[in-house]
């Protein structure tokens, strides 16, 4: 299982705005889009970033419990990285409240609007990477393609603006933490600013623009919401249409203490346990990696990092259940899974059927479990640990039903 460090990245998701211009009595972040709140869509992208992050949601006090429920639902086993804080009277006050909730080890902060609900994870990744590489503030932006006129209050044209110098900026906007902290403490400008980069620039810190993404548009009006609905409809029509195959590998050494052995979802009394942040179940972890790779969702180390104390000692069914949920959400059903365990012990044959039954019940699909020694070769042959290799077949959700028991 790949280990990931405690996050040094945080994402503050501002979700405290009203829904007035959207024509809704509900705060904007909680308005449904394709059956899910805007906030849920925005957080889904955040939790699909390559790098794990602390996530702080800034929400209206009256909707704090709802925001917490949404965030925990999306975060799954990473829910320990999420907190919800009340929003302020202005956007800047809300961001300052989010900054106050950050852990000590955070070095890079992204500030993101929940209203930009379709922002792709790749854009968040790009902004975070650019901040780390440059040490500057980074904002994504799009080239302005329309001709822009300067006009008076009554509409008289004063002149044409050179659009080559213009960029329509988006979120997330990223900054070194100490820069954003200091800039907000020093800021004394208008209280209605909606641009964190302007606050940072006003404090004399450099800010650069990188390429944005058209999908990161802000949902402000009913037409914006309709546009997002149409785009999601297009995405749904482009759902997976062919089977996908993935492979996973996991390795763990035997523990030096008297830890129990958990393997293929089963407890093996009297056998030497495996070292690891969780229970070290190489079979379960390899299956998760195979499923995630087939669905294009990353790997176990990214999604189930060692930074979450809730996963300390967690058993394989926790990882398998969450992986299956993500695979189903991505538009797939699990066709079948095979896993091969390499090691001298325990002897798998007497409990093979039990392991297959348990794993199959968790995944809702047939699972085949096999075992091999390695003829005394390698670390498994020397009895230093166990390894497992898994292969998973995923089917499009609308394809032939190959689910277990069908």
Helix ranges (H only) for 55-195 are 64-75, 91-100, 121-134, 177-186
**Cα separation, 287 vs 392, whole angstroms:** 7
Integer CA distances (angstroms), 40 to 15, 134, 288, 320, 330, in order:
11, 31, 24, 22, 15
Say if residue 332 carries a ligand binding annotation. no
- Which candidate, 332, 400, 334, 326, places its Cα nearest to that of 368? 334
Q: In a 3-state reduction of DSSP, which class is residue 51?
A: coil
**Residue for token pair 């805007």:** 38
Say if residue 196 carries a ligand binding annotation. no
Say if residue 379 carries a ligand binding annotation. yes
Buried b (16+ CB within 10 A) or exposed e, 188-227: eeeeebebbbbbbeebebebebbebbebbbbbeeeebbee
Say if residue 41 carries a ligand binding annotation. no
Say if residue 373 carries a ligand binding annotation. yes
Say if residue 251 carries a ligand binding annotation. yes
Say if residue 175 carries a ligand binding annotation. no
Say if residue 63 carries a ligand binding annotation. no
Say if residue 374 carries a ligand binding annotation. yes
Say if residue 205 carries a ligand binding annotation. no
**Cα separation, 385 vs 379, whole angstroms:** 7
**Residue for token pair 């944005």:** 212
Residue 58 contacts residue 98 (beta carbons within 8 Å): yes
Specify binding-site residues for a divalent metal cation.
250, 252, 285
Specify binding-site residues.
250-252, 277-278, 285, 372-375, 379, 382
């Amino acid at each position: 299982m790949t280990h990931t460090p405690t996050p040094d990245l945080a994402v503050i998701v501002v979700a405290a705005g009203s829904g007035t211009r959207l024509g809704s009595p509900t705060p904007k972040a909680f308005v449904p889009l394709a059956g899910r709140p805007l906030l849920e869509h925005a957080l889904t992208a955040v939790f699909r970033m390559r790098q794990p992050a602390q996530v702080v949601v800034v929400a209206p006090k009256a909707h704090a419990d709802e925001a917490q429920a949404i965030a925990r639902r999306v975060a799954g086993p990473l829910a320990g990285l999420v907190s919800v804080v009340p929003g302020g009277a202005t956007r800047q006050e809300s961001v300052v409240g989010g900054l106050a909730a950050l852990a000590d080890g955070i070095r890079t902060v992204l500030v993101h609007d929940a209203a930009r609900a379709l922002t792709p994870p790749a854009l968040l990744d790009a902004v975070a990477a650019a901040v780390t590489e440059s040490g500057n503030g980074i904002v994504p932006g799009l080239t302005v393609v329309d001709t822009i006129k300067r006009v008076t209050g009554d509409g008289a044209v004063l002149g044409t603006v050179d659009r080559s110098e213009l960029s329509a900026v988006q979120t997330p906007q990223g900054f070194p933490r100490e820069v954003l902290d200091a800039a907000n403490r020093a800021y004394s400008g208008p209280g209605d600013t909606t641009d964190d980069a302007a606050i940072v620039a006003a404090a004399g810190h450099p800010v650069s623009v990188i390429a944005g993404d058209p999908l990161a548009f802000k949902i402000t009006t009913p037409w914006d919401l309709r546009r997002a609905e149409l785009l999601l409809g297009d995405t749904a029509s482009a759902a997976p249409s062919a089977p996908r195959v993935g492979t996973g590998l996991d390795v763990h050494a035997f523990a030096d203490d008297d830890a129990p052995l958990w393997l293929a979802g089963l407890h093996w009394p009297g056998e030497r346990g495996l070292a690891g942040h969780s229970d070290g179940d190489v079979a379960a972890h390899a299956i998760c990696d195979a499923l995630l790779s087939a669905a294009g969702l990353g790997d176990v180390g990214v999604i189930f990092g060692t930074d979450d104390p809730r996963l300390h000692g967690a058993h394989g069914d926790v990882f398998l259940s969450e992986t299956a949920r993500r695979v189903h959400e991505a538009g797939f059903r699990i066709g079948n899974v095979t896993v091969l365990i390499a090691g001298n012990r325990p002897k798998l044959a007497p409990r093979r059927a039990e392991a297959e039954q348990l794993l199959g019940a968790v995944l809702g699909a047939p699972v085949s479990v096999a075992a091999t020694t390695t003829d005394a070769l390698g670390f498994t042959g020397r009895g230093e640990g166990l390894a497992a290799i898994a292969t998973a077949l995923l089917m499009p959700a609308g394809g032939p039903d190959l689910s277990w028991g069908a």
